[in-house]
Copies of this chain bind each other. A is one copy, B any other.
Amino acid sequence: MSERGLSAPRRRRGRPRGGATDARERILDAAVAEFEAQGYDAATIRSIAARADVDAALVHHYFGSKADLFTAVIDAPMQPARILPELLDGDLDTAGERLARFLVDLWEQPDFRRRGIAVMRAMMGSKRTAGILVGFVSREILRRITTRLGGGDEARRRAGLVASQIVGLIVTRYVLELPPIAEATPDEVVAAVGPTLQRYLTGELTG
């Protein structure tokens, strides 16, 4: 049964709330919560709609399929990556520290962190969603760094190494909350990880 294309979706219960923007945000929040709690495969449009207190038809109306909705959920944490070219502009010899500072500042924000963790959890738990995330990271992060480094195989490899440390920092500090790295101050993390990113961007890599 297709529930798409209904022109006047009704909320199933609850008092009337704000307009379309409000409902859209509530659906996104509910999707984050469901993907995090159930994982991608077990979460359904229906369970997300129930959590958001809207009709399933409204979810389809705004976001299309479950995969489309997941893409929208990923999109918010990836938005900041769009400013990467700006961040990498200027002196390349200090870009490692700027990048580390930017990442830590971003992930220290509770709202960002909550959605980012849900995305990381959901995408790691399933091959399908891992593919969606790899596409995003390749497009939004790797390609921008590769371009800034002038393109080519070595630049690509450097971007991949940068990603390995960034992803590792996010997973251990924010997703797993592994004590010694989760307990470090933002300044300590930037001081420790910045030079690693810098070496991957511009340093000697062949040992």
Contacts and interface: CB of A to CB of B under 8 A. Distances in A.
Given A41-B38, A42-B39, A169 B175 contact: no
Contact of A164 (B39, B130, B172, B199): B172
Q: Taking the full assembly, how many copies of this chain does it contain?
A: 2
A64 B61 CA distance: 46
A190 to B, nearest CB: 7
Q: Size band of the A side of the interface?
A: 35 or more
B199 A137 contact: no
Interface string A35-53: 0001101100000000000
Query: Which of A41, A164, A166 has the largest number of chain B CB atoms within 10 A?
Result: A164
Nearest to A35: B125
A177 to B, nearest CB: 7
A200 B192 contact: yes
Query: Which of A38, A142, A171 has the largest number of chain B CB atoms within 10 A?
Result: A171
A175 B130 contact: yes
A78 interface: no
A67 interface: no
Contacts of A166: 168
A207 B180 contact: no
A87 to B, nearest CB: 18
A202 interface: no
Contact of A165 (B157, B159, B164, B207): B164
A6 interface: no
A99 B172 CA distance: 18
10 contacts: A39-B126, A130-B175, A157-B180, A157-B181, A157-B192, A164-B171, A164-B172, A191-B205, A191-B206, A196-B196
